[in-house]
Amino acid sequence: MCGIVGVIGKDNTTDILLKGLEKLEYRGYDSAGIYVNNQDGKDFLVKEVGKISELEKAVTSDVQGLVGIGHTRWATHGKPTIENAHPHFSDDNRFYLVHNGVLTNFEELKNKYLSDVHFNSQTDTEVAVQLVDHFAKQGMDGETAFRKALSLIEGSYAFAMVDKEQPDRIFVAKNKSPLLIGLGDGFNVICSDAMAMLEETHEYVEIHDGEVVILKKNSVEISKLDGTKVQRGSYTVNLDASDISKGTYAHYMLKEIDEQPNVMRKISQNYIKNDGTLNVEKDLLDEMNKADRLYIVAAGTSYHAGLVGRNIFEKICDVPVDVELGSEFGYHMPKLSKHPFFIFLSQSGETADSRQVLVKVNELNLPSLTITNVANSTLSREATYTMELLAGPEIAVASTKAYTAQIAVEAVLAKALGEVKGLQSAKDFDVKEQLALAANGIQSIVDAKDKIKKLADEFLTGQRDAFYIGRGIDYALSLEAALKLKEISYIHAEGFAAGELKHGTIALIEKGTPVFAYVNDGVGASHTRGNIQEVEARGANVLVIASKKYAESGDQIIIPEIDELISPIISVVPAQLIAYYASLARGNDVDKPRNLAKSVTVE
Ligand code: AGP
């Protein structure tokens, strides 16, 4: 969601900016732009609505310079138009600025300081750049004006700004929205995430909330808003440019679905030692062992993985678990237990809804763990403990391998915690064997892609609505399966507790309505069969996805053997593939569905 790139000290600035923006495409955007300055009085601003390829077409060969900033915009304030695209500029064309985040007091600032200024856009961002200019016009130098504006601005932001009068530097600031500095030899870059600049550097420095950076080609000066200097070392990002390429695949989503067996093996190798003992931090387990309740906080697919996790932790560790949506929990925090422990699940580690809960958890001095796919992400840095998903970069907006990895890591953690508690349930749960079964089980499903494509065509061609139903673990899974289908195929899909249909929703079932029924939950299996009959009697076209143990003749997809607790790791895969093929059949942009962003960095 909104991406920022910037570079200073290279002579192929335009190229680096455009390539960086392409790498950030996966985050979701609806317009893009660059500002390039040749440090010799000449500068260029190019903006376009739509894909980066449109921006590339608009960039002529003379757009060259030694410093530049670029941006992909996901519209919040104002429609996706060229005027609203970033970079924004002050009315005297002195300052150029890109922004990721949402400014909450922009109307107030506009009324108070900028009533006589002409605005070119409807964005909150333009207020920031006009405000800097307003203070510069009062005689402040660029940096002082930037700091003054920051001291008044409220909300979330990552800013990068170029002052035409000082084009030897980029002004950078951050609060709540992600931004990194990348270090080079005789040049430096900025980016919303490291993937954008891996071709330039693997060495990065974090910027923390409330910090300002003056970036020059040979120096990085970090300070707090009040000017106090900050010293911070760099870290190496161990990713290759090839990790983020599609290879021979038509879409990242299919590649990422296919990668899941390997992700299971990687998690197993990393977290389970050769002697079978678990590689989980002792302090983390001791802290969790003190908790009388676990609170899992997440959004979207990660929330669904949390729902599966609740069952795993409650059954294996005998501890009560609440699973909460970050967007709700942060603002309506219920009465907490006496000794809560928080688990943040987030593929990106940047989701603003979850992060605002973590900020409150830290204010309350409560212990927390972030389980994330992105080392050094904000949620990972700010939680007390971190566990990595090790799924490799997930680029497609629709989350697939991160979901299965989250369940696998939850299973490892539950086993480790249950062992610390000395519980038989933990001893009986052979997580190594289960992850091996998961890898093989996923493989058998992805090997049956052609069959699943046929089923997707048969059940979903021409349909507007679809339902996923199940009980217990299959209900949690149905929510994720339905989300996958709706977010990329745009078919209206709902996940339902199978028993709830007859309390209202069954009224929507008519001749030919596709209903995907999950039967993996032992306790609920026979009842779900009853619910299948109810919808069939009303004309539904039912596709059954059943585990080997509960399968009946006529069931279309059989899930190989695995412990029920983690069965969604395998049984979600047919739903991922069904969604993929339904999206393809409709000619949608599978990897970048409309209106969505990969990393949701605004609340
Ligand atoms: C699902 O396919 C989406 N990408 C979305 O629901 C996602 O899971 C959610 O925005 C949370 O993201 P996170 O895991 O990066 O925190």
Determine the Cα–Cα distance for residues 548 and 539; give it in Å rounded to an integer.
26
pLDDT number for residue 29: 83
Nearest CA to ligand 1 atom 2: 398
Tokens of 116: 């006589």
Tokens of 207: 């910027």
pLDDT at 24 over 80: yes
Residues with Cβ within 6 A of ligand 1? 299-302, 346-348, 351, 354, 397-399, 487, 600
pLDDT at 239 over 90: no
Residue 497 Cα to ligand 1 midpoint, Å, equals 22
- The residue whose CB lies within 8 Å of the most ligand 1 atoms, and thus the one to mutate among 252, 323, 348, is 348
The continuous run of DSSP H or E covering 416 comes out as: helix 401-420
Residue 166 Cα to ligand 1 midpoint, Å, equals 40
Tokens of 367: 């212990």
- The residue whose CB lies within 8 Å of the most ligand 1 atoms, and thus the one to mutate among 399, 591, 596, is 399
Considering only CA atoms, which of 160, 166, 162 is closest in space to residue 180? Answer: 160
What is the residue whose two structure tokens read 């609170």?
295
Query: What is the mean pLDDT of the segment spanning 78-99?
Result: 95
Query: What is the mean pLDDT of the segment spanning 68-75?
Result: 93
Residues with a known catalytic role: 2, 598
pLDDT tens track for 378-419 = 999 999 999 999 999 999 999 999 999 999 999 999 999 999
pLDDT at 487 over 70: yes
Instruction: From the options 3.90.1150.10, 3.30.410.40, 1.10.3130.10, 3.40.50.10490, give the CATH code of 250-446.
Output: 3.40.50.10490
pLDDT number for residue 284: 98
Determine the Cα–Cα distance for residues 286 and 182; give it in Å rounded to an integer.
37
pLDDT at 596 over 90: no
When pLDDT is cut at 50, 70 and 90, the band that residue 510 belongs to is very high
Burial class (CB within 10 angstroms; exposed 0-12, middle 13-18, buried 19+) of 216 = middle
- Residue 301 CA, closest ligand 1 atom number: 8
391 vs 77: which has the higher pLDDT:
391
Determine the Cα–Cα distance for residues 529 and 390; give it in Å rounded to an integer.
37
pLDDT at 599 over 80: no
Residue 307 Cα to ligand 1 midpoint, Å, equals 14
- Residue 398 CA, closest ligand 1 atom number: 2
Tell me if 524 sits within 8 A of 470, measured CB to CB.
yes
pLDDT at 238 over 70: yes
pLDDT number for residue 241: 67
What is the residue whose two structure tokens read 């695209």?
85
CA 434 to chain centre: 27
257 vs 276: which has the higher pLDDT:
257
Tell me if 520 sits within 8 A of 564, measured CB to CB.
yes
84 vs 376: which has the higher pLDDT:
84
Nearest CA to ligand 1 atom 9: 300
Considering the domain 3-242, what is its CATH architecture? 4-Layer Sandwich (3.60)
What is the residue whose two structure tokens read 């002409």?
118
Query: What is the mean pLDDT of the segment spanning 96-112?
Result: 95
- Residue 348 CA, closest ligand 1 atom number: 15
Determine the Cα–Cα distance for residues 75 and 475; give it in Å rounded to an integer.
34
Determine the Cα–Cα distance for residues 35 and 67; give it in Å rounded to an integer.
8
pLDDT tens track for 127-161 = 999 999 999 999 999 999 999 999 999 999 999 99
pLDDT tens track for 430-470 = 999 999 999 999 999 999 999 999 999 999 999 999 999 99
Residue 55 Cα to ligand 1 midpoint, Å, equals 27
- The residue whose CB lies within 8 Å of the most ligand 1 atoms, and thus the one to mutate among 600, 601, 602, 603, is 600
pLDDT number for residue 1: 65
pLDDT tens track for 535-561 = 999 999 999 999 999 999 999 999 999
Tell me if 257 sits within 8 A of 400, measured CB to CB.
yes
- Residue 304 CA, closest ligand 1 atom number: 8
Query: What is the mean pLDDT of the segment spanning 565-589?
Result: 97
Q: Do domains 250-446 and 448-589 have the same CATH topology?
A: yes
Residue 262 Cα to ligand 1 midpoint, Å, equals 21
pLDDT at 56 over 70: yes
2 vs 289: which has the higher pLDDT:
289
459 HSE (CA, 13 A, CB side): 29
Residue 128 Cα to ligand 1 midpoint, Å, equals 29
Considering only CA atoms, which of 399, 401, 374 is closest in space to residue 299? Answer: 399
Nearest CA to ligand 1 atom 5: 300
pLDDT number for residue 417: 98
When pLDDT is cut at 50, 70 and 90, the band that residue 597 belongs to is confident
pLDDT number for residue 594: 86
pLDDT at 214 over 70: yes
**Overall CATH class of domain 448-589:** alpha beta
Q: Where are the domains of the chain?
A: 3-242, 250-446, 448-589
